[in-house]
Structure 1
Amino acid sequence: MQDEISSERAAEAPQGPRGDVRRDGPPRGGRRPQRGRPRHDRPKKNDVSGWVVLDKGVGITSTQAVAVVKRLFNAKKAGHAGTLDPLASGILPIALGEATKTVPFVMDGRKAYRFEVTWGVETDTDDAEGRPVETSENRPTREAIEAALPAFVGEIEQVPPRYSAIKIQGERAYDLARDGEVVELVARAVRIDHLSVIEHHGDRTVIAAECGKGTYVRALARDLGRVLGCYGHVSALRRTRVGPFEEATACSVAALEESTEMHLHAVETALDEIPSVAVSRDMGLRLMRGQPVILRGHDAPLGGKAYATCGGVLVAVGDVERGELVPHRVFHLGGTAPQKN
């Protein structure tokens, strides 16, 4: 399920007499006073690398969640693999250090959700935060919902929500929608592998979904409501899996505050769906210089993507071509990251 984080427009900088940006402060040649703590007194950032499977709570953006985890680990670099709406909870994989190089592999993985649809109202955002645009007194039965779900399984065409992060001529769709412009989004091909009704209570239904990259659960609820002739919107959403990361390995912010080390997973956890190969020290050094190596042995992958380890430490990930592993990403982990069990 895609998500979009609200962005605030920056205030315009004051203009000088020639139209250039005027910078307040001391005259040219003067020394600008230091702000805050002197640089030499600031705590040194840690070279920490690995994955944190955060169970994000409702009311916090993905960007804010990353900032919290980065602060708790005092990490130099951090990022996430797939944003999650502020109103949604669940799995938000956060990469630290060298793990940020494996984010694309997690982003391309399958995702699972559990979401609640409230029937009778369609909103302009397709969720509970939006303004009602269509209403109906009709309410679907559980049998009618289950009969409609198969039409949304497989490769389908889906029009993203008006309030989405998709760019239209360089502008985010949600920015255009908030400015009152009419947003016309083109249908895109997405894949939904599974849909099932978990609970049904009159005007609310809880549905489980498994889908691929680019699928909008909000759009699914909207389209399902239209097919059933009753309209609908997402009123609650929880992501239960992203690629190899599941609820069983997730932790809350409170748990991280008690202990960070026990919740840090190996960088190569993100690469669970591709084969691995152990290489010698000399081969590992070649890979880390960006040079290909010849793979030998009956267990060596014949093609596709693979990652290499040396002494149990991840050194590179790339493509196997004509018996060679051609590195596309190299890693400098040493002893800074946990090893996979």
Structure 2
Amino acid sequence: MNPDETQIRQALSGFINVLKPPGMTSAQVVGRVRSLLRGRKVGHAGTLDPEAAGVLPLMVGKAARLFDVLQDKQKAYIAEIAFGAATDTQDAQGTVTETGRAFPDEAALRAALTMFRGDLLQTPPMYSALKRDGRRLCDVARDGGSVALEGRPVTVHALELLGMTNRQGALVSVRCSRGFYVRTLCHDIGQALGCPAHMRFLLRTQSGVFTLDTARTLEELKEEAEREPEGLPLLPMEAAVEHLPWAEVPAALEKPFRNGVPLRLHALRLSETPPEGAAVRMRSGGELCAIGVREGDALRQRTWLAE
């Protein structure tokens, strides 16, 4: 590798908004993009199930340090609920565990949706990547085991019926917090209506600042990589956290802040006064250098991003 190529690779830190197709794992999508970036470090900011499609933000280089910040953002989906059968995985890939033909009408479904808005306790599915005693729940389930699961606090910010389908189903849109399982929502809606149900299809339309209308297919990325010898253009790291308030770090305080010394609020130029515990974009010389968090009357470094 020549020096110029090394410099190009070192400069690659940012995000790519990928339109994940159904039939691929999130890890396979990461592998495809990593090859286009000549082995550069790539990770995803929130997995999608293999048969799901839609927005899959990829973090390149130092952008991976923003993973925790991105996970706190809302996500939006369109899902198809299939009535008449429940499955062990709560989606169309599972084994049918219950059938029924008491299909709900539109009025009954609209009424049921009101039960699933706001702050809820949701019991996660056994077929998930959550761990118990060091083992993934899906591995326990595949071995024939089961675990008593407790509900976890989640928030549904919006849940709307888009329409009924002609195959005993319905399309819904949902905007939710992290850790929410849309397939469990589909299953639970069926239970509330007295009709077994599962999720037939899932499309993620938004993940934080990343939206469906700006997502690029793998084919588009491949063509772009072939046209651009210097590599794929990336969304700057700051663009992914531009919703956060910012604070300008004086040059004299940058090194102490990097070494873990909290900075008093009165010593900083702020876009606004952040509430307790809020994340803040820390800027130095007009460039993003870190993510801070408010603790009392100071900002503490949470994630260092500059070289």
Bin for the TM-score computed over the shorter chain: 0.7 to 0.9
CA RMSD of aligned residues (A): 2.2
Identify the structure with the greater helix proportion.
2
In structure 2, the residue matched to 1:199 is 163
For residues 189 and 162 of structure 2, the distance between their equivalents in structure 1, rounded to whole angstroms, comes to 16
Cα distance in structure 2, aligned partners of 1:55 and 1:81: 13
Q: Per-residue deviation at 1:259?
A: 2.2
The number of equivalent residue pairs is 293
Bigger Cα displacement from structure 2, 275-284 vs 128-137: 275-284
**1:319 aligns to 2:284 (yes or no):** no
Where do 1:137-216 residues align within 5 Å? 137-202=101-166, 203-216=168-181
TM-score normalised by L of structure 1:
0.80
Given the alignment of the two structures, is residue 46 of structure 1 paired with residue 46 of structure 2, yes or no?
no
Residue type at the aligned position of 1:193 = H
Q: In the alignment, is the contact (CA less than 8 A) between 1:103 and 1:270 conserved in 2?
A: no
Q: Structure 1: how far apart are the matches of 2:143 and 2:120? A: 30
User: Aligned letter for 1:229?
Assistant: G
* Alpha-carbon offset, residue 307 of structure 1: 1.6
The 1-side partners of 2:245 and 2:88 are apart by 44
How far did 1:169 drift? 2.0
Aligned AA (1:287)? F
After superposition, residues 242-281 of structure 1 pair within 5 angstroms as 242-259=207-224, 263-281=233-251
In 1, the alpha carbon distance for the partners of 2:91 and 2:220 equals: 30
Q: Is the 8 A contact 2:247 2:269 kept in 1?
A: no
Asked whether the equivalents of residues 288 and 331 of structure 1 are also in contact (C-alpha less than 8 Å), the reply is no
Shift of 1:293: 3.6
The alpha carbon displacement at 1:328 in A equals: 2.0
Preserved CA contact (<8 Å) 1:287 1:330 = no
**How do residues 107-118 of structure 1 correspond to structure 2 at under 5 angstroms?**
107-118=71-82
Give the match for residue 16 of structure 1: none
On the 8 A contact 2:246/2:270 being kept in 1, the answer is no
**Where does the alignment leave 5 or more consecutive residues of structure 2 unmatched?**
226-230
- How far, CA to CA, are the matches of 2:165 and 2:300 in structure 1? 54
Inter-partner Cα distance in structure 1 for 2:274 and 2:123: 39
CA-CA distance at 1:330 after TM superposition: 1.1
SS in structure 1 at match of 2:204 = strand
Whether the 8 Å CA contact 1:91–1:242 is kept in 2: the answer is yes
Corresponding residue for 2:38?
Answer: 74
1:143 and 1:50 mapped to 2: Cα distance?
46
1:212-231 matches, cutoff 5 A? 212-231=177-196
In structure 2, how many angstroms separate the alpha carbons of the residues matched to 1:262 and 1:268?
18
Q: CA deviation at 1:284?
A: 3.4
C-alpha distance in 2 between matches for 1:329 and 1:100? 11
Q: Distance in 1 between matches of 2:282 and 2:204?
A: 31
Deviations 1:230-254 (A, max 9, x none): 1111111000011111112211111
Contact 2:250 2:268 in 1 (8 A): no
Change beyond 3 A, Cα 1:308–1:144: same
Range moving further from structure 2, 169-178 or 261-270 = 261-270
Query: Could you tell which deviates more after superposition, 284-293 or 140-149?
Result: 284-293
Q: Give the whole-Å Cα distance in 1 for the aligned partners of 2:271 and 2:149.
A: 47
Is the CA contact 1:75–1:97 (under 8 Å) kept in the aligned structure 2? no
| C-alpha spacing 1:258/1:218, structure 2 compared with 1 (3 Å) | same
Distance (whole Å) between structure 2 residues aligned to residue 157 and residue 193 of structure 1: 14
Give the superposition deviation at 1:130: 0.6
Distance in 1 between the 2:144 and 2:180 partners? Answer: 25
Which of 300, 304, 307 does residue 330 from structure 1 map onto? 304
Does residue 104 of structure 1 match 2:68?
yes
Preserved CA contact (<8 Å) 2:120 2:154: yes
Deviation at 1:292, TM superposition (A): 3.5
Separation of aligned partners in 1, 2:219 and 2:251: 40
The change in CA–CA distance for 1:188 and 1:257 in structure 2 (over 3 A counts) is same
Identical amino acids, percent of aligned pairs: 34
How far has the Cα of 1:298 moved from its partner?
6.6
3-state DSSP of counterpart to 2:185: helix
Q: Distance in 2 between matches of 1:301 and 1:284?
A: 20
Residue identity opposite 2:129 in structure 1? A
Q: Is residue 287–residue 315 contact of structure 1 (8 Å, CA) maintained in 2?
A: no
How far did residue 128 of structure 1 move?
Answer: 0.6
Q: CA deviation at 1:283?
A: 3.4
Matched, 1:130 2:94: yes
